[in-house]
Chain A
Amino acid sequence: MVNLCKGDVMRFLDKFSRRKYSSAREEGRQADQDSISTRLPQNIEQLHNLFPEAPDLIIREFTIKKTGELAALAYFKGLSDKNAINTSVLRPLQFEIGHDNQDEGFALSVGPIQSLNTWSDIEASIFSGESILFVDGRLEAYALDTRGWPQRAIGEPQTESSLRGAHQGFVETGAQNIAMIRRYISNRELKIKELKAGRRGATKISLLYPGDVAHPEVLKELEDRISQLDVDVIINTGELAELIEDNPYSPFPQFILTERPDAAASQLLQGRIVVIVDRSPSVLVAPAGFTAFFQSIDDYSTRWLISSFIRLLRFLAFFIAILLPGLYIALISFNYELIPIKLFLTIGDFRGRVPFPPFVEAIIMEITLEMMREAGVRLPAPIGQTIGIVGGIVVGEAIVQAGVINNIMVIVVAFTAIASFILPNYDMVASVRIIRFLMMIAASMFGIVGIVVGMMILIGHIISLESLGTPYGSPIAPFRLSDWKDAFVRLPLWNMKTRPISARAIQSKRQGSSRPKGDGK
């Protein structure tokens, strides 16, 4: 079933891309005859001209029973819902007389009917899955909402699983994603702004924001950046994020991409803006701060002491993941005096057998780790397990026995890997991987001094970063004490009376101060 859908999509994309070029060729000729004609055969011919090599374009000609007019219905197979067309469009038009005598109205049981009179509008709506009804003698065509493209069932978010959170993830249909968020925030203050981006395949981009909370300046900034885009098409949210980022040269992600409706809703309530890109299962949350990448939706449904502990653990893991291999190199190559004497003697014993300098040793292991991880991500699940075996047994055991890498290095790599798996956000994990290598290089050249300088540069960089014009380093720098309630620890929910300052909410009260305490108090 899934395969079938995939095939359809592929075929559709194939046709679609071929069509793009032919339409470009005809662009000049088209301009003067953009409006449709009153004569049906001419329109049908024009349709054939517009989509010359599109066998999935269906044009069905028939007579409308009610008025006796000749008509044609055009739609793309696969993009439109066949059942809806058969039962709600073709059947009533061909066989039902209808009760009213209104000239215009068709007795169609479909939702919105839109009249169009230019070919460019028709093109856009036919590609979005609507079917177009041409009637002989009328200078307008009707776009009927019969959209029904291949869809995936709503399932568990793959990249962000959670223990307590909802088990629904976003899907590839923007409208459904909006609906999922609306289920969490059923309030008319949830405003949606629709934008289009992309020349060849206009991608529908919806900006969701709490109207009374989101800062208009931030919203305007985001809107401006999206509307200034000049690209062919936006396939995925990640592309949009990269195109509108404040600093694309930074290793750090500046927007949160999430697959979780509950996470997106929670961010909305903090005053942030959610961007839904049609056809992409992840949504973009802006503006984002550094600490936001260490929060997980589970933090709020676990008891606060435990989630605070886990959060601190994540920050610790961040530093371990960045620094540990670098620290190993620095200690072995420069600053021996910092190793406790007993560990020192042990390392000395192991190091004596290894033919490579520490930096090469560390690079070999870290690259192996990165390759194993990448291999694990791309491999289908049943084969993916072999990676664990290969990694665990072959690389872990054999490499030490062969005397290529020493035991301590294997421990260091394992620690780093575990530490980076703890981080809840994939983009942040990816940044950590890059920074780790930079730290290793700095350590191999300058030892501890290199690491210290590296950290200073890193911190300076984080402080200077902005996400949508709001400071990335908040609440650490600029220092905002009230936001610390949900940064390194998560204080009890009844303490989070205000929305975070870093989201620049214009209405900051989140909840009252009362908490039922039992005993009738």
Chain B
Amino acid sequence: MSRRLLVAFIVLAVAFMTGCYDRVDMENVAFPLTLGLDLDEKEDLIVYVIEPVFGEKIKKKSNEIAVKAQSLRQARGEFDRYSMGVFIGRQIQQILVGRRVLQHDGWFQLLDVFYRDAKNSLTPTVIAVDGPVSEFISLHSEDKPILPLFLNGMIESKSSYSETVKADLQDLHHQMFEKGITPVVSEIKYKKDVYLEGTTLLDHKGVYAASLNKDETIFLNILKKKSDIAHLSFNIPGVSAESPLVTGLLSFTVSEADTKIKTSFRDDRFRFEIKVDMPITLTERVFSYHVEKNKKDLEEIIAKQAEQKMIKLIKKIQKAKIDPIGLGLYARAYEYKSYKRVEEHWGEALSGAEIDVTVDVTITGSGPVR
């Protein structure tokens, strides 16, 4: 009998339980899809959001709000006052950060709410904007899906070809707090329309350090061992220009480049010997060249160019005193004692390091035509 009472009690308790306190049905929620951070002329923080608008009869598919705020949480309070539903940031797809914000120390701390409030997801991609963020927020292309979806697709597809990186909040957090590496995020620019520039390199504190274009990003990804497939075009020197249409441009696909990094510490400086194995397949050749006969020569030419470009990239990195490749992780693994001494200013230590790059190119395919 008492068991029956107990069961009845549990059933009643469950039925009338107020367990649904955090339940908000989808139609009562306003979902920001893109979050933008920028500074205005007076160095005040402006927070932008783009939220989708649901409804058949509404022409405009998204709604944009901009508010002045000191923090994201405060901004959310402001957004709430502009919108029909409750603002819930769990479907944010990307966070656009303006260059002006990136140039200031401590901007990363603004994202604290994403890490501290466990209900927020860590999946939004961080995108650096070269220029003012407002240009993107107010953008309404008739012939494009809404910006959040557009950017999503853009970053997703280009990062799979190594042309940019897809750094979500989780990655960014790791790169910020890992001392042996500095953050890399993708970079967009307004060039009459949304234009994917490549990547933005940040220093240990998250402050803007340098920008890389598409090709440089590909080489960075190859050095980071993050490149599965990439498309490159090189100008082959020594091609006689008999017509303006014939240039020495050679396009190829690099698939599964193999990078080996040897670390050592000698004469008070780190030494990295980077050896890259690049199997390539030719995809386009707009000049005449007997590939089969001169395969070795061509491989050497391409290898030399790739080598030069990588060295140039490394010089750029060293000059900016950052380490987007993550060589610090190798230094820590192989030369722990020496690394530990310079850990706190690793970027500087790296700038004095000796980094050799050798590239070995193998042409694995030149297409079914001669």
On whether A349 and B54 interact (CB within 8 A), knowing A334-B23, A445-B19, the answer reads yes
Q: How far is the CA of A336 from the CA of B30 in the complex (A)?
A: 11
B152 touches A341 (CB 8 A): yes
**Chain B interface, number of residues (Cβ within 8 angstroms):** 25
Q: B27 on the interface (CB 8 Å rule)? A: yes
Q: How far is the CA of A339 from the CA of B121 in the complex (A)?
A: 12
Q: B22: nearest residue on chain A (CB-CB)? A: A334
On whether A349 and B23 interact (CB within 8 A), knowing A336-B31, A342-B149, the answer reads no
Q: How far is the CA of A341 from the CA of B123 in the complex (A)?
A: 12
B20 touches A341 (CB 8 A): no
Q: How far is the CA of A342 from the CA of B150 in the complex (A)?
A: 11
Question: A334-370: contact bitstring with B at CB < 8 Å (1 yes, 0 no)?
Answer: 1011010110110111011110011000000000000
On whether A445 and B17 interact (CB within 8 A), knowing A336-B88, A337-B121, A352-B54, the answer reads yes
A341 touches B26 (CB 8 A): no
* Distance between B144 CB and nearest chain A CB, rounded to angstroms: 14
B24 touches A333 (CB 8 A): yes
Q: How far is the CA of A344 from the CA of B121 in the complex (A)?
A: 15
Q: A332 on the interface (CB 8 Å rule)? A: yes
B residues less than 8 Å from A357 (CB atoms)? 25
B residues less than 8 Å from A351 (CB atoms)? 26-27, 54
* Distance between A447 CB and nearest chain B CB, rounded to angstroms: 7
Q: Which of B78-130 contact A (CB under 8 A)?
A: 88, 90-91, 93, 121, 123
A residues less than 8 Å from B29 (CB atoms)? 336
B152 touches A348 (CB 8 A): no
* Distance between B29 CB and nearest chain A CB, rounded to angstroms: 7
Q: How far is the CA of A347 from the CA of B91 in the complex (A)?
A: 13
B residues less than 8 Å from A341 (CB atoms)? 33, 91, 93, 148-149, 152
Q: B352 on the interface (CB 8 Å rule)? A: no
B19 touches A344 (CB 8 A): no
* Distance between A330 CB and nearest chain B CB, rounded to angstroms: 10
A residues less than 8 Å from B55 (CB atoms)? 349, 352
Identify which of A347, A354, A446 contacts B19 (C-beta below 8 A). A446
B26 touches A336 (CB 8 A): yes
Q: B56 on the interface (CB 8 Å rule)? A: yes
Q: B121: nearest residue on chain A (CB-CB)? A: A337
Q: How far is the CA of A446 from the CA of B29 in the complex (A)?
A: 18
Q: B7: nearest residue on chain A (CB-CB)? A: A249
Which among B31, B54, B148, B152 has the highest number of chain A CB atoms within 10 Å? B54
**Chain A interface, number of residues (Cβ within 8 angstroms):** 23
B52 touches A333 (CB 8 A): no
A residues less than 8 Å from B90 (CB atoms)? 336-337
B residues less than 8 Å from A352 (CB atoms)? 27, 54-55
Q: B58: nearest residue on chain A (CB-CB)? A: A352
Q: A444 on the interface (CB 8 Å rule)? A: yes
A residues less than 8 Å from B88 (CB atoms)? 336
Q: A361: nearest residue on chain B (CB-CB)? A: B25
Q: How far is the CA of A352 from the CA of B19 in the complex (A)?
A: 25
B residues less than 8 Å from A447 (CB atoms)? 23
Q: Which of B13-64 contact A (CB under 8 A)?
A: 17, 19-20, 22-27, 29, 31, 33, 52, 54-56
B26 touches A349 (CB 8 A): no
B91 touches A445 (CB 8 A): no
Which among B23, B24, B90 has the highest number of chain A CB atoms within 10 Å? B23
* Distance between A11 CB and nearest chain B CB, rounded to angstroms: 43
A347 touches B26 (CB 8 A): yes
Q: How far is the CA of A358 from the CA of B28 in the complex (A)?
A: 12
Q: Which of A389-443 contact B (CB under 8 A)?
A: none
A444 touches B20 (CB 8 A): yes
A residues less than 8 Å from B148 (CB atoms)? 341
A353 touches B31 (CB 8 A): no
Q: How far is the CA of A248 from the CA of B33 in the complex (A)?
A: 51
Q: How far is the CA of A446 from the CA of B23 in the complex (A)?
A: 8
Q: How far is the CA of A333 from the CA of B25 in the complex (A)?
A: 4
A445 touches B20 (CB 8 A): yes
B19 touches A345 (CB 8 A): no
B residues less than 8 Å from A349 (CB atoms)? 54-56
6 tightest A-B CB contacts, nearest first: A352-B54, A337-B90, A348-B54, A337-B121, A445-B19, A332-B26
A341-B91, A351-B54 known, 12 other contacts, Cβ within 8 Å: A332-B26, A334-B22, A334-B23, A336-B31, A336-B91, A337-B90, A348-B31, A348-B52, A352-B27, A354-B27, A358-B25, A444-B20
Residue pairs across A and B with Cβ atoms less than 8 A apart, 30 shown, are A332-B25, A333-B24, A333-B25, A336-B31, A336-B90, A336-B91, A337-B121, A339-B91, A341-B33, A341-B91, A341-B148, A341-B149, A341-B152, A342-B149, A344-B31, A345-B52, A347-B26, A348-B27, A348-B31, A349-B54, A349-B55, A351-B27, A352-B27, A352-B55, A358-B25, A358-B26, A444-B20, A444-B23, A445-B20, A445-B23
